Amino acid sequence: MTTRPLIFTDMDGTLLDHFDYSFSSAIAVIEGLNEKQIPIIPNTSKTFAEMEKFQQTIGFNSPFISENGAVIYIPIGYFDTQPQDTFTQGYYWVKEFCEPRSHWLTLLETEAKAFAEDYLGFSSLTAEELCELTDLTPEKATLALVRHYSEPLLWTGDDTRKQAFMAHMNSLGANMLQGGRFLHVGGHTDKGCAMDWLAQQYANAYQTSVQTIALGDSGNDSAMLEAADIAIQIKSPTHTFPKIDTTSTPIQSSQYGPKGWAECLEALFLNPNSSTSLKLEEA
């Protein structure tokens, strides 16, 4: 039997540039992977609304994992049969992994009042305010605010307060994930668990084994990278490579964001005999 590769990718800072959210540097490689029929599956902190728009923009028709592993959206009919434990919502089969956003907002409001001055939550922001914080366009900021399973926070307090806050929220049953910009409050799900579940659905559909290749740049990608068969860390202009616990040495890009994304996947799948490929194998 042939092992089928599956590419799971973070978005912000990985496939999308950290500063301008462009993916233009990766288009040629995306087209090459599409020709080889290798699925590219977003695994992101982004919302359903953001990802549905992005799927249309870039031309993906694959499933996607949203809000840091909280939920998976599979286009109806993508697999021959609907996976178990999913429900139908619009044009998608949906697999949920945690409590809704309203649960976490209630916890923040009732159980974390002592930290209320230390952060700005998405639920308190207007689209215009989010634009100022992220350089998103008004349209993209509006989509980013429509969340269903988690609440991102912009931490404004010091690190000591942050660690105390995270410990407090963990004690209340929340799972805290630090992304490239925001601290995410959500359930005990992660990108790795969601990736494993979806990879199994592909294996069932293909009736063969699959190989998971994961790409990410920040701490909230660690679970996905650690669970993957091949972990690829994308260089960030804002922080060093996070430490991850894997049995094999992760591949690390030499370029930032989508350029690094394209660099590594081109070497692995499109030009495996290149000098870049040899450097990746030695990383």
The amino acid at residue 152 is P
> Catalytic: which of 10, 12, 190, 221?
10
SS3 93: strand
DSSP 8-state class, residue 43: B
Rounded distance between C-alpha atoms, residue 186 and residue 66, angstroms: 12
Q: 61 vs 51, 52, 202, 210, CA distance in Å?
A: 11, 10, 14, 19
User: Contact, 276 vs 267, CB < 8 A?
Assistant: yes
Residue 92: both structure tokens together = 């998608």
* Phi, psi angle pair for 251, to nearest 5°: -75, 140
Distance CA 238, CA 219 (A): 12
Count the Cβ atoms, other than its own, within 10 Å of residue 261: 30
Backbone angles phi, psi at 31, to 5 degrees: -65, -40
- Name residues whose C-beta falls within 8 Å of residue 221's C-beta, 6 or more positions apart in sequence: 10, 14, 191, 214, 215, 242
Is residue 229 annotated as a catalytic residue, yes or no?
no
Cβ count near 109 (within 10 Å): 12
Sheet with 151-155: list strands edge to edge: 119-121, 151-155, 183-186, 175-178
Nearest to 14 by CA among 235, 231, 181: 235
Could you tell me the end-to-end alpha-carbon distance of the chain, in angstroms, rounded to an integer? 29
Active site residues: 10
